C-alpha cells in the first residue's frame, strides 16, 4: 500500500473515531462511544501500520532498542521541560495557564472512569499515527518532510481547540522530531 493510501485511511479512521460521539443520544452514551471508537480506532491504526511495508525516508534508519528506549524516556522529560517553558511564554503574553480541554477531559474521567482509556490510550495512539506518520508521510513522499512536520504541528495545535496554539504546535513539532 502506498504512503498516500495508508495516510488517507489513517486520517479517515481518525475522523470517524473523532466524530462518532455526535451520534450518541446521551452524554453517558457519548463517553462510552468515544471510549470504544478511540480504542477501536487505535487498534485499527496499529493493524494498518503493521501491514504497511513502505517506509518514510527517515524511517529507514534502524535504531537499536536501547536507543529507542533512551529517547523515549528522555523525550518524556524533554517534553515536560518544553511544555513548562512554552506555558511560561504563553502566560507572559496573557494566555491563561488553564486548559479548558484538559479540564473537560478530567471532568469526564471523574464521571466515567473508563473514559480514561480513550483519553490516555486510544486518543494518543491515534494522534501519533495521524500527526507523526500519516500527515508527515504525505509530504515526505514529495521530499517535503519539513513542510509536513510544520503543517502536522499546526493541525495538531488547532485540533486541541483550547487557545494554547504555541504550546501544542511546539509539542507537535518536538514529537515529530523525536519520531
Residue 32's nearest CA partner among 125, 115, 103 is 115
In this model, does residue 80 exceed pLDDT 90? yes
The pLDDT value given to residue 108: 86
The three-point CA angle 144-74-18 to 5° equals: 55
Mean pLDDT, range 72-79, rounded to an integer: 94
The domain segmentation of the chain, as residue ranges, is 3-178
> How much is the pTM?
0.86
The pLDDT value given to residue 61: 66
Q: What is the DSSP track for the chain?
A: --HHHHHHHHHHHHHHHHHGGGG-SSHHHHHHHHHHHHHHHHHHHHHHHHT--PPPGGG-S---HHHHHHHHHHHHHHHHHHHHHHHHHHHHTT--S--HHHHHHHHHHHH-TTHHHIIIIIHHHHHIIIIIIIHHHHHHTTT-HHHHHHHHHHHHHHHT-SS-HHHHHHHHHHHHHH-
- pLDDT tens per residue, range 30-60: 788 888 999 999 999 999 999 888 888 888 6
The pLDDT value given to residue 100: 78
Mean pLDDT, range 75-100, rounded to an integer: 91
Mean pLDDT, range 129-152, rounded to an integer: 92
Quickly state the pLDDT bin for 92 (edges 50, 70, 90).
Answer: very high
Contact, 32 vs 151, CB < 8 A? no
For residue 125, give the C-alpha cell: 495512539
For residues 73 and 89, what is the distance between their CA atoms, to the nearest angstrom?
A: 25
The pLDDT mean for the chain works out to 89
Contact, 34 vs 104, CB < 8 A? no
Amino acid at each position: 500500500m502506498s504512503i498516500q493510501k495508508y495516510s488517507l485511511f489513517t486520517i479517515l479512521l481518525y475522523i470517524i473515531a473523532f466524530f462518532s460521539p455526535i451520534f450518541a443520544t446521551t452524554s453517558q452514551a457519548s463517553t462510552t462511544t468515544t471510549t470504544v471508537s478511540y480504542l477501536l480506532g487505535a487498534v485499527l491504526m496499529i493493524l494498518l501500520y503493521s501491514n504497511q511495508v513502505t517506509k518514510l525516508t527517515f524511517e529507514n534508519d534502524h535504531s537499536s532498542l536501547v536507543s529507542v528506549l533512551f529517547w523515549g524516556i528522555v523525550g518524556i522529560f524533554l517534553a515536560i521541560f518544553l511544555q513548562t517553558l512554552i506555558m511560561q511564554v504563553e502566560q507572559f503574553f496573557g494566555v491563561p495557564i488553564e486548559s479548558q480541554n484538559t479540564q473537560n477531559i478530567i471532568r469526564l474521567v471523574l464521571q466515567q472512569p473508563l473514559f480514561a482509556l480513550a483519553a490516555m490510550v486510544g486518543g494518543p495512539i491515534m494522534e501519533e499515527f495521524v500527526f507523526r506518520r500519516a500527515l508527515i508521510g504525505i509530504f515526505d513522499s514529495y521530499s517535503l518532510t519539513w513542510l509536513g512536520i510544520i503543517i502536522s504541528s499546526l493541525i495538531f495545535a488547532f485540533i486541541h481547540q483550547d487557545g494554547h496554539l504555541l504550546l501544542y504546535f511546539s509539542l507537535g513539532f518536538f514529537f515529530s522530531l523525536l519520531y
